[in-house]
Amino acid sequence: MKHAKLILVLAAVVGLSACQSRVEYGDATAVETVNENFGSSDLQAITAKMVDSMLTFPPVVALTANERPVIFVDRIKNKTSEHIDTESVTDSISNQLLRSGKFRFIDMTKVDAVRKQLDYQNNSGMVDPSHAIKFGRQIGAQYMLYGNLSSIVKQDGSTKDVYYKMTMRLMDLDTGLIEWSDEKEIRKTKSKSFLGL
């Protein structure tokens, strides 16, 4: 009887130690294949493709040869059935383009906050007028960068196929002309074994 209790206690200890979780740092640029959903590897692939394409497109190279055009980035539209943080895609593309030294950006997501601050500086009576930033002195964007992320999902038995397509365009706000456009495609396939694993 004592022997059986000892075996049960050892089994419980082994079982509990096997259930412990462990957190480790990983390589943020390593290929992530946890599942077929949109993930960090997809974001990195899209960002690299779009930034490289835009920076090497001959008309954009000519456009940025002697000046740093002002751009605003419209939020990427998520046309997939997944919840995808498209702001993260937008941020990554904007950051890399800004770091290239070829463009300047206007952050349209902060217009209301800027307006409130300028109103405070100019109308509250609490800021020395000689130090207040005046209304109407900001520079307007010359170009708008925008895009869509869409997907097609198909499933046949134990196989699921997910196709993603990211399309981006750069529009000249003065003329309405599209100065650059490109797309990145990603396909992921998940197959289940007959054991369901």
Q: 115-124, 154-163, 164-173 — which is least confidently predicted?
A: 154-163
CATH for 148: 3.40.50
User: What per-residue confidence (pLDDT) applies to 18?
Assistant: 57
Q: Is residue 26 a part of any domain in this protein?
A: no
C-alpha to C-alpha distance for 184 and 180, rounded to whole angstroms: 14
Q: Is residue 103 a part of any domain in this protein?
A: yes
How many CB atoms sit inside 10 A of residue 55's CB?
16
Q: Is residue 127 a part of any domain in this protein?
A: yes
Q: Is residue 22 a part of any domain in this protein?
A: no
Q: Taking residues 88-103, what's their average pLDDT?
A: 92
Highest mean pLDDT among 10-14, 47-51, 54-58, 111-115: 54-58
Number of separate domains in the chain = 1
User: Please, are residues 172 and 144 in contact by the beta-carbon 8 Å criterion?
Assistant: no
How many CB atoms sit inside 10 A of residue 122's CB?
14
User: What per-residue confidence (pLDDT) applies to 58?
Assistant: 96
Q: Is residue 28 a part of any domain in this protein?
A: no
Where are any strands of DSSP class E within the chain?
A: 70-73, 77-79, 104-106, 143-156, 159-172, 178-191
Q: Taking residues 6-20, what's their average pLDDT?
A: 62
Which residues, in sequence order, are bridge partners of residue 103? none
Q: Report how far Cα 50 is from the mean position of its chain's Cα atoms.
A: 12
User: What per-residue confidence (pLDDT) applies to 60?
Assistant: 96
3-class DSSP state for residue 70? strand
Domain that holds residue 178: 36-191
User: What per-residue confidence (pLDDT) applies to 10?
Assistant: 62
Distances (CA, A) of 146 to 13, 17, 50, 108, 157: 56, 50, 11, 13, 37
Token duo for residue 97: 């383009």
Residue of 32, 23, 57, 9 whose CA lies nearest to 180:
57
Reply yes or no on whether the pLDDT at 170 is more than 60: yes
How many CB atoms sit inside 10 A of residue 41's CB?
16
C-alpha to C-alpha distance for 3 and 15, rounded to whole angstroms: 18
C-alpha to C-alpha distance for 25 and 68, rounded to whole angstroms: 38
Reply yes or no on whether the pLDDT at 186 is more than 80: yes
Token duo for residue 172: 């000249």
Q: Is residue 5 a part of any domain in this protein?
A: no
For residue range 39-63, what is the model confidence (pLDDT) as tens digits? 667 788 888 999 999 999 999 999 9
User: Please, are residues 161 and 185 in contact by the beta-carbon 8 Å criterion?
Assistant: no
3-class DSSP state for residue 121? helix
Q: 100-104, 108-112, 121-125 — which is least confidently predicted?
A: 108-112
Q: Is residue 31 a part of any domain in this protein?
A: no
Q: Is residue 3 a part of any domain in this protein?
A: no
